[in-house]
Amino acid sequence: MNMIDLRSDTVTLPTADMKRAMMLAPLGDDVYGEDPSVNLLQDQMAALFGKEAGLFVPTGVMSNQLAIKAWTQPGDEVIVEKESHIFNYETAAPSMMSAVQLHPVAGTLGVFHPGDVTSAVRPDAYYYPRSTLVCIENTHNRMGGTLYPVEAMRDLRTACHAHGMGLHLDGARIWNAHIASGTPLRDYGETVDSISICFSKGLGAPVGSMLLGTQMLITKAHKYRKIFGGGMRQAGMLAAAALHAVEHHLSLLAEDHARARSFAEALSGMQSFGIDRARVQSNMVLLDFAGGPMRATEAQRRLHAEGVEIGMGTGDSLRAVFHLDLDTDAVERAIEVCRTVLD
Ligand SMILES: Cc1ncc(COP(=O)(O)O)c(C=O)c1O
């Protein structure tokens, strides 16, 4: 049986054209700064997001952690959204790599009101940690791919700067936010002090993320990348995949979003789970089993048995993610299987 994989947009395989681009990439040793494909990708992304410089790294986690390391001193505090990837899924790395404390604050569907953040800032007293950085996420993974409006980001940045703090954006799926909202990538970039972007999620590259910010921040992050063991040699093959992904796959995200919407529409009104369609803003759909007759884990098991792989969401929910390697037939079959085995 051919499995339909709705677990994540990270499960996609490189296309034949992407592999060709990787094979043909001009290469050099990037630890010496001599890989032309990596340099091109860094320059292009910095220009695209209106930032001074970029640093290519293997993963989104490394990119976020380099930002935290470059922004903070040991003993500082970083304000993060309570459901964010940085707080939940990065293995307490800020405490290990940067010796900082995370201060989780709940947002509304992942979005902060500036007051949420300003009331979390520590007063200036010797017994408090120093609040130096705020991190947000767009789109928001655990909330089900919800958007952080750029106006709300601007308001937050004003509040952060008023308190001498930087604003970092985990933009692993900023591409989805851009396609869903129509906000130019440059506007997102210019609204934050640093941004992490991923090529390995909806864009379909096999590996690769990038930290973007001022030249000064990236110079610091470059040193820490070496310390974290993230210096790669002929990384141009990966950069070429990323360049190909941005050029050829960005506009295809609209199809993932349309598929997520039609999946949500087709399955709303089922007895065993609920879907909050207002939350279906990009390429994810949360199926909420709380209070219903079936547990999400049982639903996951039944779907697996019928050829549909789906991941757990937060609480008693499942998360369906739409991506490049799914076509209309696969989505229709997934809907049919859900209707049959979950009713
Ligand atoms: C919002 C968000 N940030 C960061 C990451 C980390 O990316 P990576 O798996 O490349 O480390 C992920 C991974 O799914 C993510 O969803």
Handedness of CA 282, 86, 191, 110 (dihedral sign): positive
- Largest Cα separation within the chain, whole Å, is 63
- How far apart CA 299 and CA 304 sit, in angstroms, is 9
Q: Which amino acid residue places its CA nearest to atom 6 of ligand 1?
A: 60
What letter would DSSP give residue 145?
S
- How far apart CA 32 and CA 273 sit, in angstroms, is 54
The position carrying tokens 């980001």 is 153
Contacts 24+ apart (CB under 8 A), 42-47: 42/210, 44/243, 44/246, 45/197, 45/210, 45/212, 45/246, 46/212
* Distance between Cα 146 and ligand 1 center (Å): 15
Output the ligand 1 site: residues, CB below 6 A: 59-61, 85, 137, 141, 170, 172, 198, 200, 209
285's enclosing H/E stretch is: strand 284-288
CA angle 217, 221, 222 (to 5 degrees): 115
* Distance between Cα 150 and ligand 1 center (Å): 21
8 A C-beta contact, residue 201 and residue 321: no
Span between the terminal Cα atoms of the chain, in Å: 22
21's CB contacts (< 8 A; 6+ apart) are 240, 241, 243, 244
* Distance between Cα 271 and ligand 1 center (Å): 33
* Distance between Cα 33 and ligand 1 center (Å): 26
Listed as ranges, residues in the chain with pLDDT below 50 are none
Give the rounded distance of the alpha carbon of 275 from its chain centre: 22
* Domains, the chain: 4-10+251-342 (3.90.1150.10), 16-249 (3.40.640.10)
Give the rounded distance of the alpha carbon of 231 from its chain centre: 22
Q: Let me know how long the chain is.
A: 343
Segment 207-234, tens digit of pLDDT = 999 999 999 999 999 999 999 999 999 9
Question: From the alpha carbon of 90, which atom of ligand 1 is closest?
Answer: 6
What letter would DSSP give residue 282?
S
* Structure confidence at residue 1 (pLDDT): 78
The position carrying tokens 């290519």 is 56
* Nearest C-alpha neighbor of 117 from the set 79, 77, 158, 169: 79
SS3 of residue 244 by DSSP:
helix
Hey, what are 246's tokens? 């941005």
